[in-house]
Protein backbone atom coordinates (compact mmCIF):
# COMPACT_ATOMS: atom_id res chain seq x y z
CA UNK A 1 0.00 0.00 0.00
CA UNK A 2 1.68 3.16 -1.22
CA UNK A 3 0.18 6.63 -1.31
CA UNK A 4 1.57 7.51 -4.74
CA UNK A 5 -0.14 10.91 -4.69
CA UNK A 6 2.13 12.01 -1.85
CA UNK A 7 5.36 11.03 -3.62
CA UNK A 8 7.51 13.42 -5.62
CA UNK A 9 7.58 12.72 -9.36
CA UNK A 10 11.09 11.30 -9.03
CA UNK A 11 10.18 9.02 -6.09
CA UNK A 12 6.98 7.85 -7.82
CA UNK A 13 8.97 6.99 -10.93
CA UNK A 14 11.47 5.04 -8.82
CA UNK A 15 8.67 3.21 -6.94
CA UNK A 16 7.19 1.94 -10.23
CA UNK A 17 10.56 0.76 -11.55
CA UNK A 18 10.16 -2.79 -10.21
CA UNK A 19 6.69 -3.04 -11.75
CA UNK A 20 8.06 -2.02 -15.14
CA UNK A 21 11.15 -4.24 -15.04
CA UNK A 22 9.67 -7.39 -13.56
CA UNK A 23 6.69 -9.56 -14.41
CA UNK A 24 5.47 -8.96 -10.86
CA UNK A 25 6.79 -7.71 -7.55
CA UNK A 26 4.68 -10.31 -5.71
CA UNK A 27 5.02 -14.07 -5.52
CA UNK A 28 1.25 -14.39 -5.95
CA UNK A 29 -0.22 -11.24 -7.54
CA UNK A 30 -3.85 -12.25 -7.07
CA UNK A 31 -3.34 -12.93 -3.40
CA UNK A 32 -1.41 -9.65 -2.97
CA UNK A 33 -4.38 -7.75 -4.50
CA UNK A 34 -6.79 -9.47 -2.13
CA UNK A 35 -4.56 -8.67 0.84
CA UNK A 36 -4.22 -4.99 -0.13
CA UNK A 37 -8.01 -4.70 -0.53
CA UNK A 38 -8.54 -6.34 2.86
CA UNK A 39 -5.98 -4.04 4.52
CA UNK A 40 -7.63 -0.96 2.96
CA UNK A 41 -11.02 -2.13 4.21
CA UNK A 42 -9.74 -2.75 7.75
CA UNK A 43 -7.92 0.61 7.83
CA UNK A 44 -11.06 2.37 6.58
CA UNK A 45 -13.45 0.66 9.00
CA UNK A 46 -11.25 1.30 12.03
CA UNK A 47 -9.92 4.73 11.06
CA UNK A 48 -6.34 3.46 11.18
CA UNK A 49 -3.30 5.31 9.94
CA UNK A 50 -1.40 3.69 7.07
CA UNK A 51 2.37 3.95 7.52
CA UNK A 52 3.66 2.07 4.49
CA UNK A 53 7.26 3.26 4.52
CA UNK A 54 6.66 5.02 1.17
CA UNK A 55 5.00 8.41 0.97
CA UNK A 56 2.98 10.21 3.61
CA UNK A 57 1.33 8.69 6.62
CA UNK A 58 -2.21 8.38 5.32
CA UNK A 59 -5.83 7.52 6.05
CA UNK A 60 -8.29 5.78 3.77
CA UNK A 61 -10.95 8.16 2.45
CA UNK A 62 -13.34 7.27 -0.39
CA UNK A 63 -11.41 4.02 -0.97
CA UNK A 64 -8.07 5.75 -1.54
CA UNK A 65 -5.10 6.76 0.58
CA UNK A 66 -5.02 10.44 1.53
CA UNK A 67 -1.95 11.96 3.15
CA UNK A 68 -2.27 13.70 6.49
pLDDT digits (tens), the chain, 68 positions: 777 788 888 888 887 776 666 666 667 888 888 988 999 999 999 999 999 877 789 999 988 899 88
Q: Report how many helices (DSSP H) and strands (DSSP E) the chain contains, helices first.
A: 3, 2
Domain that residue 41 falls in: 4-67
Query: For residue 61, which of 25, 30, 53, 45 has the smallest C-alpha distance?
Result: 45
Number of domains in the chain: 1
Give the pLDDT score at 29. Answer: 80
- The pTM for the full model equals 0.62
Amino acid sequence: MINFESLSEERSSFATLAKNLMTTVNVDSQRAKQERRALMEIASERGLLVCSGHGDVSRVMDNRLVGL
